């Protein structure tokens, strides 16, 4: 397999402005599946938040490093402890990127976990988890 970042694209009915705000509120879509816990803030440039899931199996800290209103959101993973794999810090230095573009009928939301490639030990667990969060939690929010 070739090395490529995990990416998923959705089409939403809401405006780019509305979708942008929904994505910034990580607690609204990155929760409700694996007993998640959050601390910190996720909405302003340089905000830092922590995410824990699976009774401690997944812990990460993210810093908001790029914010282009209604177009792009980028969080850098600064700390990581994935207890279910050997190299527990695999996500450190990876980026969670949301790109929002308006087309004629819909708003496109492209999510890329830059650095989460099929070469990482966690890929077989993390890629399906991202798909579940994005499709079952975020997708309804951008289409309600």
Distance CA 56, CA 144 (A): 32
**Torsion angles phi and psi, residue 131, rounded to 5:** -60, -40
pLDDT band at 40 (very low <50, low <70, confident <90, very high): very high
Distance CA 121, CA 100 (A): 29
| Domain count within the chain | 1
| Structural domain span for residue 99 | 5-141
Q: Helix or strand or coil: residue 63?
A: strand
pLDDT band at 1 (very low <50, low <70, confident <90, very high): very low
Which CATH number covers residue 74?
Answer: 3.30.530.20
Asked if residue 33 has pLDDT above 60, the reply is yes
| Assigned token pair, 41 | 């803030």
């Amino acid at each position: 397999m070739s090395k490529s970042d995990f990416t998923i694209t959705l089409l939403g009915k809401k405006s780019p402005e509305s979708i942008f705000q929904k994505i910034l509120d990580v607690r609204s879509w990155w929760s409700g599946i694996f007993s998640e816990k959050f601390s910190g803030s996720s909405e302003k440039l340089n905000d830092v938040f922590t995410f824990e899931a699976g009774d401690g199996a997944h812990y990460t800290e993210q810093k908001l490093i790029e914010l282009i209103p209604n177009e792009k959101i980028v969080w850098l993973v600064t700390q990581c402890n994935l207890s279910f794999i050997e190299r527990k810090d695999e996500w450190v230095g990876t980026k969670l990127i949301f790109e929002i573009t308006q087309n004629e009928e819909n708003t496109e939301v492209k999510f890329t976990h830059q650095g989460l490639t099929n070469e990482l030990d966690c890929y077989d667990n993390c890629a399906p988890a991202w798909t579940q969060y994005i499709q079952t939690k975020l997708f309804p929010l951008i289409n309600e």
